[in-house]
Amino acid sequence: MNPKFRLICFLLFILTHGISNAQNVQIDSLKNALRITKTDTLKVNQYNQLADLYKEIDPDSTLFFANKATVLSTKNDYRFGLASANINKGNASIILGNYAVALKYFTTAKSEYEVVLQQHKNTKQATRGLARAYASSGVVYSEQSNHTLALENYEKALAHYQKIKEQKSVSKVLINIGILYKSQQNYPKALYYLEEAYKIQLPLQEENAPMTLTNIGAIYFELGEYKNAIQYYKKAKTGYEKNNNKRGFALLNNYLGNYYKKQNNKALALEYYQKSLDAYEEIQNKFGASLALHSIGLLLQEEQKYNEALTYANKSLLYAKEIDVLDQTFHSEKLVSELYESLNDPKAALEHYKNYITARDSINNKETNKKFAEAEMNYEFKKKEALLSEEHKRQIQLVIFSIFGGLLLIVLSLVIYNRMQVKRRLTLKKEVAEYEQKALHLQMNPHFVFNCLSSISSFIVQNGTDSALKYLSKFSKLMRLTLEYSKGSLIPIDKEIESLQNYLELEQLRFDDKFAFEIESTENVEFNMGLPPLLIQPFVENAILHGMVPKEGKGKISVNFDVQKEQLVCTITDDGIGFSESKILKENSVTAHQSMALAITKKRLKIMESITSKSAKIEIIELNSEQQKSGTKVTLYLPIQYIP
């Protein structure tokens, strides 16, 4: 999992547990209203409202209610309801990390809102919805580092919000544009948009106005305009005092520490760093606390108070490792190494220096991979441009030959052209199949990670701190394995077994040894055989959740790998309640949602067949024992593939 996605998941966890009672009351009220509502269009609006309320709590529930709104809207040709449902599905897809899917939903929403506007219905609401679709598209493109399209969508959203004079939404879009320019280090434009946003926030008494001031001050600090920076910091401080924003206060104090350190007022800098640390500790924000501790350590290092500095640096390193933030670990390891060297402890200094180098290399590798991906995309874009240019030249030549060569040359040229088109289509078809395989694999990754994080959240609530730490340790190991091998198209079977072993041990912990398991591989399976990553895990997960958990007493799950008739055969067997009884339970459950795993796996197998030209299929049967259902058996028949 990349650092950005880890931070997003962490923030979502905070939002989930910080949901207000008022929002829960709204959800309950809407559900009660749905029971007595008879008008279909009103039901659609209520479904969409529920979907919107659930987006910060449970994106699967958002998709559930949005799908209900979609079905009912389609039935009644209610375009506005259909557009709103697509907005909700797009927002849920962003949270789940499915950016490509999210963009499709937002594009559909735009089209539907345009139709509503052409029909002169719900004009203001449709314009607001259209603005939301463009703004959300801008967020997706920004996450994908496509700054051009992000800016284009933000500007369209801004124009629509200005049209209906929704000043609060206008300020939010201006802030997004400002932050986009800030990330590109285009500080003059960033300042312009942030200051314009603040002009709107001020009369509206927006709670986020102090944060806008803090961002403006930080930009002036980066530009070396320290007098302007401190003026905005002081204004932000007054705002935070009014709304008692502890998180904002903590960030501001850290910025003030940087300011006074730059002014060579180290005593005051230390005072503000300490205030920042105290505030972050109070709200239990270890990321911010690690930054503040590191700042204090650096300041004490400059004053040659090495022993005191080491205490802060070690604690900063501890927090950075606990929350697994690589960049902060890198800085803290470097500081600790330098302090041990100053204290004449070369052994400890060398150990932490090695850790610093390891962290640095990891960061560089990630940056290199990112730059390589961007370069590859640019190359593909230029390649397509060149092909289009070449195609244009060829068409001009064909026109010239048709004039001077006559009918025969025209026919001949058309035959050659058609052959080229057929060859090009065949090549593109193969490339599309390969890209679809990669895209479906990437869909499984966030789906798998989200399910694991949901399990961790439940385990923390149910089992307490000590057990949760043990669970998180195993989860961390599983994530490392997943990250290491999910980049390729194939994973070695022994690593797949190790990953499944880790996952099943995690679920054993979670469900208090509700089941036993065994994983076997026959002697027919060769060490260099491979299979696509994350292909087996969803079926093991289904065996646990829908077979073992509802079962009375302890059950067993068996996973077997074998080679039969020149195919790799993977079998997942459980002695649970069986899929027919599980299906009944899911239909009766108000929280049930449709799993993507089976549909995605079938698509992956179909694409695998087209790439390898060999059979790939799945077989699911319900096991019976003495007229009673006694479990489920899932068998995957895969082409034998070897890892070079």
CATH of the domain at 620: 3.30.565.10
Mean pLDDT, the chain, whole residue set: 81
- As a whole number, mean pLDDT of residues 144-163 equals 89
d(CA 572, CA 548): 13
Task: For residue 320, tell me if it sits in a domain.
Answer: no
For 147, counting Cβ atoms within 10 Å of its Cβ (0-12 exposed, 13-18 middle, 19+ buried), the class is middle
Q: Give me the pLDDT at residue 432, please.
A: 54
Q: Give me the pLDDT at residue 9, please.
A: 38
462-468-471 Cα angle (round to 5): 115
Task: For residue 45, tell me if it sits in a domain.
Answer: no
Total number of residues shown for the chain: 644
Q: What is the pLDDT of residues 236-249, one digit of tens each?
A: 888 888 877 788 88
Query: Which letter does DSSP use for residue 633 in this model?
Result: E
Half-sphere CA count of 475, side-chain side, radius 13 A:
23
Task: For residue 630, tell me if it sits in a domain.
Answer: yes
- As a whole number, mean pLDDT of residues 455-484 equals 71
**pLDDT category of residue 547 using cuts at 50, 70 and 90:** confident
Task: For residue 100, tell me if it sits in a domain.
Answer: no
How many domains does the structure of the chain reveal? 1
Percent of the chain whose predicted confidence (pLDDT) is above 70: 80
Task: For residue 139, tell me if it sits in a domain.
Answer: no
Percent of the chain whose predicted confidence (pLDDT) is above 90: 25
- As a whole number, mean pLDDT of residues 97-123 equals 88
Task: For residue 558, tell me if it sits in a domain.
Answer: yes
For 26, counting Cβ atoms within 10 Å of its Cβ (0-12 exposed, 13-18 middle, 19+ buried), the class is middle
Q: Give me the pLDDT at residue 105, please.
A: 93
**pLDDT category of residue 527 using cuts at 50, 70 and 90:** confident
Task: For residue 600, tell me if it sits in a domain.
Answer: yes
Task: For residue 469, tell me if it sits in a domain.
Answer: yes
Rounded-to-10 torsion of CA 337, 342, 344, 345: -20
Q: Give me the pLDDT at residue 557, please.
A: 94
Asked whether the beta carbons of 622 and 579 are under 8 A apart, the reply is yes
Whether residue 444 has pLDDT greater than 80: no
Asked whether the beta carbons of 572 and 536 are under 8 A apart, the reply is yes
Which of the pair, 69 or 367, is modelled with greater confidence? 69
Q: SS3 letters for 101-160?
A: HHHHHHHHHHHHHHHHHHCCCCHHHHHHHHHHHHHHHHHHHHHCCCHHHHHHHHHHHHHH
Domain limits for position 453: 438-642
- As a whole number, mean pLDDT of residues 43-57 equals 86
Residue 562 has phi, psi (to 5 degrees) of -150, 165
